[in-house]
Amino acid sequence: MVRIRLCEESFVEPILSGQIRCPVHLYSGQEAIATGVCAALFEKDYVFGSHRSHGHYLAKGGDMRELVAEIYCKEPGCSRGRGGSMHIIAPEIGMAGSVPIVAGTISLAVGAALALKIKREKRITVSFFGDGAAGEGVLYESLNFAALKKLPIIFACENNFYSTHMPIRECRPENNIFKIGAPFCIQSYRVDGNDVLKVYEVTKHSVGLCRKGLGPVFIEFMTYRLRGHVGPNDNIQETYTDIRPKEEIAKWRKKDPIRRFQAFLIKNRIIRRETLERIDREVEEEVKEAHEFAKESPYPNPNELTKYVFKE
């Protein structure tokens, strides 16, 4: 969680100074979900993400230097500077891809789960998407087909209450996304997405069901993003489009998943405050090095514009 938070926050300054130009959707505030879910997976399990997937990438074990380099659109980036922040991948550790078409990877994740079933493998797939994706028809088609074929897939919905600028009350008659699994006979749960232990617990249970052939499972994680929809503060051409009430943001700051887990660890004498501070310092160093690596790295060669259109 600390790696994700410090990595995410490290993009703020280079975005504001114009060093990073591609659209960046920060995951700050939602770290417990990626962390808790991926902790319950093996490296060979697949995860698919969305426009806000730096956290999924890091939690699954993706290389931080390659992530940061990608966000600077440099050649050594995880997508060789062709994708930027919204298209990140690390096939070697099961991060199968993330894209900014809302709900775009849900059916792809179903396909990966179908492949595992055809090959009779015990691996599973997790599809991460936000509450906004619950407005897309393909989610319902995917739920139906996955349930029909009993596929080993977890539909992980991160409900942060906002679909870009639209509050959920303006998108759905009721804030109850987890209920959409029921008509398809899908085991469904709703948990506090800012409590990493609860996230881990429900995911571990769901992974067990999927590995036993009792999938799919639908989990709705209730959470909140501490930054704007895109960039640090949704500043679009000097118009601030983050219209969330200040009191609401302040309320969720108190539920910060990292502070909560740190308090739990200290209270239960699992870890000492000094150790936590040491972890912070080590991560700060790692993040700093990743930025240095990215800044020193070359941009893609302009002559290679059409390389990768097709696989040769």
Residue numbers at the binding site for other proteins (CB under 8 A): 46, 48, 77-83, 87, 89, 91, 96-97, 99, 101, 104-118, 137-138, 141-142, 144-145, 148-149, 307-311
> Cα separation of 223 and 157, whole Å?
10
Closest to other proteins by CB, 148 or 214: 148
Distance of CA 306 to the CA centre of its chain: 29
Nearest-5° Cα angle at 35, 120 to 261: 145
Q: Where are the beta strands (DSSP E) in the chain?
A: 46-49, 95-98, 125-130, 153-159, 162-163, 166-167, 187-192, 217-222, 235-236, 239-240
Among left, alpha and beta (phi > 0; psi -120 to 50; other), residue 193 is alpha
Residue 175 tokens read as: 């804030």
Q: Please, are residues 25 and 51 in contact by the beta-carbon 8 Å criterion?
A: yes
In angstroms, give the least distance from the CB of 303 to other proteins. Answer: 15
Closest to other proteins by CB, 143 or 191: 143
Closest to other proteins by CB, 137 or 173: 137
In angstroms, give the least distance from the CB of 53 to other proteins. Answer: 13
Q: Please, are residues 54 and 134 in contact by the beta-carbon 8 Å criterion?
A: no
In angstroms, give the least distance from the CB of 82 to other proteins. Answer: 5
Q: Please, are residues 31 and 258 in contact by the beta-carbon 8 Å criterion?
A: yes
In angstroms, give the least distance from the CB of 213 to other proteins. Answer: 13
> Cα separation of 286 and 10, whole Å?
11
Residue 73 tokens read as: 């659109």
Closest to other proteins by CB, 36 or 83: 83
- Indicate the DSSP class of residue 135: G
In angstroms, give the least distance from the CB of 168 to other proteins. Answer: 23
In angstroms, give the least distance from the CB of 152 to other proteins. Answer: 13
In angstroms, give the least distance from the CB of 133 to other proteins. Answer: 12
Q: Residue 41, exposed/middle/buried by CB under 10 A (0-12, 13-18, 19+)? A: buried
Q: Report how far apart, in Å, the C-alpha atoms of 133 and of each of 49, 51, 127, 154 are.
A: 12, 11, 11, 15
In angstroms, give the least distance from the CB of 85 to other proteins. Answer: 12
Closest to other proteins by CB, 134 or 168: 134
Closest to other proteins by CB, 81 or 257: 81
Closest to other proteins by CB, 29 or 77: 77
Closest to other proteins by CB, 99 or 156: 99
> Cα separation of 238 and 16, whole Å?
12
